[in-house]
């Protein structure tokens, strides 16, 4: 807005208080929208790729958007990061939650401050404005079990990893996968409760070694969480079990390409974290404009999406196969 003499006189005519209040709004109108995105953990390939997408879309959209990556996959660190963004008075806070419940109070504070809250990988999140997903929970869990069950020959003992026992989406994927196993592969046997280790390579590695000792006839490991397949693959190779134990799950292609090519990781599916970063910024930018997501709307690089206003959910179906035929293409994309 350009302030002219006529605007100034009008402000004086309306009283000194009106003029005082008008000035900050003019400053805000000239400021780029501020979008801070808090991920589960910094420094791992999955979220490094997401950060590339965030920066790319921020430049295209003309907004200031950045990623905050805690040093550990820890709910308390995420809460502190969100509190910092509230203090900075950003326009939108994006979060990939480690613990959906732990974030509820701080999300309430963000909304009370007039800040929009956009989540990813948390479809039943409370006190957010919207959540977006690049696959359905049933589709993702079911696709993994279809592949896993076929590779196991429909029988044998297996275990399941999730990123954390407090990450709702990972556990929902596991729920749907186990449900599909019972319906399609009844001779397979889940021999332990799921392990919340798959956001840590070291924990995934140690758990695989422990379970191989506890179950010498273990035939499969199904993992949801980007570090799960990597840590488990290390354990299988160390114990010489890479040919006898089927390992399936989603991971960052650049991190797992070696294990795919040598057959230790048999396959899996991901959505593209770079695209997820772009979607974070594109949807957040629309929210800063007061635009409401609508069913059938188009998102660049994703296509048409289903929007459920009652659940505040934006759903797409955009999966990539992690197999020998596709892995080099994904690695070349920087994933």
At 11, is the pLDDT very low, low, confident or very high (cuts 50, 70, 90)? very low
Supply the pLDDT for residue 30. Answer: 63
Residue 114 has pLDDT above 60, yes or no: yes
Range name among 2-11, 33-42, 106-115 with the lowest pLDDT average? 2-11
Residue 76 has pLDDT above 70, yes or no: yes
Would you say residue 294 lies in a domain? Answer: yes
Would you say residue 213 lies in a domain? Answer: yes
101 and 205 in a single domain? The answer is: no
Residue 22 has pLDDT above 80, yes or no: no
Supply the pLDDT for residue 81. Answer: 98
205 and 299 in a single domain? The answer is: no
Per cent of the chain over pLDDT 70 is 91
Would you say residue 327 lies in a domain? Answer: no
Query: Which tens digits make up the pLDDT trace of 310-328?
Result: 999 999 988 999 999 999 9
Residue 94 has pLDDT above 90, yes or no: yes
Would you say residue 332 lies in a domain? Answer: no
Query: Which tens digits make up the pLDDT trace of 155-172?
Result: 999 999 999 999 888 999
Which of 194, 268, 186, 191 has its CA nearest to residue 229?
A: 268
| Cα–Cα distance measured from residue 42 to residue 35, given in angstroms and rounded to the nearest whole number | 17
Residue 28 has pLDDT above 70, yes or no: no
Would you say residue 297 lies in a domain? Answer: yes
Buried-state track 5-26, b at ≥16 Cβ within 10 A, e below 16: eeeeeebeeeeeeeeeeeeeee
Supply the pLDDT for residue 335. Answer: 87
263 and 150 in a single domain? The answer is: yes
The pLDDT of 213-217, averaged and rounded, is 98
192 and 255 in a single domain? The answer is: yes
262 and 276 in a single domain? The answer is: no
At 100, is the pLDDT very low, low, confident or very high (cuts 50, 70, 90)? very high
| Cα–Cα distance measured from residue 152 to residue 248, given in angstroms and rounded to the nearest whole number | 10
| Beta strands at 306-308 and 313-315: parallel, antiparallel or unpaired | antiparallel
The distance of Cα 41 from the centroid of its chain, to the nearest Å, equals: 11
146 and 263 in a single domain? The answer is: yes
Supply the pLDDT for residue 5. Answer: 33
57 and 169 in a single domain? The answer is: no
Supply the pLDDT for residue 45. Answer: 85
Average pLDDT over the chain reads 91
Residue 13 has pLDDT above 70, yes or no: no
50 CB-contact burial (10 Å; exposed 0-12 / middle 13-18 / buried 19+): buried
More confident: 29 or 15 = 29
Query: Which tens digits make up the pLDDT trace of 122-148?
Result: 999 999 999 999 999 999 999 999 999
Would you say residue 237 lies in a domain? Answer: yes
More confident: 72 or 228 = 228
143 and 243 in a single domain? The answer is: yes
| Cα–Cα distance measured from residue 142 to residue 176, given in angstroms and rounded to the nearest whole number | 6
> What are the C-alpha distances in Å from 257 to residues 27, 46, 261, 267, 329?
49, 13, 6, 10, 11
123 and 42 in a single domain? The answer is: yes
Buried-state track 166-182, b at ≥16 Cβ within 10 A, e below 16: bbbbbbbbbbbbbebbe
Which of 49, 86, 87 has its CA nearest to residue 69?
A: 49
Number of domains composing the chain: 2
| Cα–Cα distance measured from residue 256 to residue 252, given in angstroms and rounded to the nearest whole number | 6
Q: Are 148 and 140 in contact (CB under 8 A)?
A: no
277 and 264 in a single domain? The answer is: no
156 and 264 in a single domain? The answer is: yes
229 and 296 in a single domain? The answer is: no
Q: Which range marks the domain in which residue 287 is found?
A: 32-134+272-318
Would you say residue 114 lies in a domain? Answer: yes
Q: Any idea what the CATH number is for the domain that residue 94 is in?
A: 3.40.50.2300
Per cent of the chain over pLDDT 90 is 85
Residues with Cβ within 8 Å of 39's Cβ and at least 6 positions away in sequence, in order, are: 47, 50, 67, 68, 69, 70, 95, 96
Would you say residue 292 lies in a domain? Answer: yes
The pLDDT of 255-284, averaged and rounded, is 97
The pLDDT of 85-103, averaged and rounded, is 97
């Amino acid at each position: 807005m350009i302030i002219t003499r006529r605007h100034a006189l009008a402000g004086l005519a309306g009283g000194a208080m009106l003029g005082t209040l008008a000035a900050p709004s003019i400053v805000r109108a000239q400021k780029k929208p501020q979008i801070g995105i808090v991920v589960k953990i910094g420094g791992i390939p999955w979220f490094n790729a997401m950060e590339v997408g965030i920066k790319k879309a921020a430049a295209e959209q003309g907004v200031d958007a950045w990623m905050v990556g805690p040093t550990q996959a820890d709910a308390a660190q995420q809460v502190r990061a969100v509190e910092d963004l509230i203090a900075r008075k950003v326009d939108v806070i994006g979060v990939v939650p480690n613990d959906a419940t732990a974030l509820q109070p701080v999300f309430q504070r963000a909304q009370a401050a007039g800040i929009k809250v956009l989540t990813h990988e948390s479809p039943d999140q409370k006190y957010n404005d919207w959540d977006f997903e690049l696959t359905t929970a049933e589709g993702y869990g079911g696709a993994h079990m279809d592949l896993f069950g076929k590779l196991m020959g429909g029988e044998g003992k297996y275990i399941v990893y999730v990123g954390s026992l407090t990450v709702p989406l990972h556990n929902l994927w596991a729920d749907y996968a186990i449900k599909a196993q019972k319906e399609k592969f009844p001779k397979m046997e889940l021999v332990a409760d799921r392990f919340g280790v798959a956001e840590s390579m070291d924990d995934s590695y140690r758990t695989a070694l422990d379970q191989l000792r506890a179950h010498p006839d273990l035939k499969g490991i199904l993992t949801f969480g980007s570090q799960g397949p990597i840590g488990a693959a290390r354990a299988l190779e160390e114990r010489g079990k890479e040919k006898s134990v089927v390992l399936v799950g989603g991971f960052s292609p650049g991190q797992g390409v070696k294990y795919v090519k040598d057959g230790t990781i048999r396959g899996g599916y991901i959505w593209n974290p770079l695209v997820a970063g772009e979607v974070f910024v594109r949807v957040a930018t629309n929210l800063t404009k007061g635009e409401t997501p609508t069913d059938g709307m188009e998102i660049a690089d994703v296509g048409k999406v289903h929007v459920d206003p009652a659940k505040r959910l934006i759903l797409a179906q955009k999966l990539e196969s992690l197999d020998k035929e596709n892995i080099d293409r994904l690695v070349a994309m920087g994933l």
